[in-house]
Structure 1
């Protein structure tokens, strides 16, 4: 009898996301086993229990998924799991805390696609402001934009100190350059977006970070993207289904990308990565860089 496909899902939180469990089952895993309250120190033993119990053939049908809500902790847990494996007992690994890696990957890939389609340029050298930049999606979106050559500022509604702390911590962890900028009040937000080429809205659901008057001061804006699907929209004038639609009240040529347009790419990205884990001939280690590469493929297919 063939051995079943098993995915062990580790989270430092109180419960694993039902979204991720559903995605894993739909990707082909027959047994999906969640583990809650898993700290970094527990990863080594759990990983070795996972690999040594199935033998070299069984590990090809085994995977580990890391969730949670902390983008940096998830990266550390992924690295610890990878370090804990011993050849030939190597299984596929994937991290996607709160969907932050695949959501950020989809967001930045969609922005890249619209920049090329609407303005004939890439992110390289552009100024990107991430509103809600201290959360998991905002941090990773900032890292991906920086890796693509953009000058990135993470904004926090808690002020410049919180923003700079998050920017320094994230930049140091992932080897990029990030800066902090205050989003503590309307004046600070308007100052930060005044010369932004790209605005990424990654704030909490139901929070509008830019109103129509704010958009009016963004005189260099080319693309604005919003991951908030809960009314009101995170950026005024950017509907959830928009995908390159001109933004009313913004400068001429500025287009918006809404939450469901980004979500469609995010869903496909996560699904394809999980299928790769489950069905791939070789074990994979999948983080936000791999998610970004996959999201770029999906966006390119859409624009072909």
Structure 2
């Protein structure tokens, strides 16, 4: 009898996301086993319990998925799991905390494609991320910075909170980020006045840019929003818009469901690749971005 494909899913939270469990099952994993309240210090032991019980052939049908809600902690957990491997007992690893890595990958890849339609790329662009303290906002910032953009994380909690989030994230991922205040309308308008790209990563149902705010962004080339719950995070932006002209601006708009479609395909293909690979994979935010670009290249 062939050994089943088993995906062990570790989260530091109280429960693993049902979304991720569904995604794993739909990607062909036969046994999907969630583990809750797994802190950083537990990962090495859990990883070694995962690898040693199946033998070198069994590990080829075994994977580890790291969830949670903290984009930085997930990166640390991914490193810790990789460091606990003992060849030839090596399994594939994937991190996607709160869907942040695949969502950010999809958002930035869609933004990059919209910029390319205008004869430019991310390099040299000024990117302002509203809701930049959350996991999606932080990873969007990392990916955009790694692609050569000048990136600012904005927070409604003010400049101190934004600068601290930028410092922590920049240090962890080795990129340059800055913090800007989004604490009031004047601060938001000042930040978007110099923006080529605005990425709205705020909480669902919160509008971060009104039509009046957009009028203060004369350089804006792309505006993208991950909020699918009314009202739109960016005024005038439809959830299905995919590089559609945004009313009242010269920008192209990208809506939440357009991003979500790319995110879904990216996560599915990564989970599927883990199951099908002969050589163990390590999949983090960078690999998610590469796959999101591939999704766009094959579907548009």
Q: Normalising by the residue count of structure 2, what TM-score does the alignment of the two structures yield?
A: 0.99
1:195 offset after TM fit, Å? 1.4
Trace 1:270-285 onto structure 2 (pairs within 5 A).
270-285=267-282
Deviations 1:227-271 (A, max 9, x none): 000000000011100001111122x3x110000000000000000
In structure 2, the partner of 1:219 is 218
Partner Cα distance (1:6, 1:293) in 2: 25
2:36 maps to 1:36: yes
1:183 offset after TM fit, Å? 0.1
In structure 2, the partner of 1:146 is 145
Trace 1:50-129 onto structure 2 (pairs within 5 A).
50-117=50-117, 119-129=118-128
Trace 1:1-304 onto structure 2 (pairs within 5 A).
1-117=1-117, 119-250=118-249, 252=250, 254-303=251-300
Structure 2, gaps ≥5 residues long: none
Partner Cα distance (1:240, 1:190) in 2: 23
The answer to whether the 8 A contact 1:128-1:197 is kept is yes
1:237 is paired with a residue whose SS is coil
Runs of 4+ residues over 4 Å off in structure 1: none
Structure 1 vs Structure 2 CA RMSD: 0.5
1:94 offset after TM fit, Å? 0.2
1:185 offset after TM fit, Å? 0.3
1:184 is paired with a residue whose SS is coil
The answer to whether the 8 A contact 1:113-1:300 is kept is no
Aligned length: 300
Deviations 1:7-65 (A, max 9, x none): 00000000000000000001110000000000000001100000000000000000000
Q: Normalising by the residue count of structure 1, what TM-score does the alignment of the two structures yield?
A: 0.98
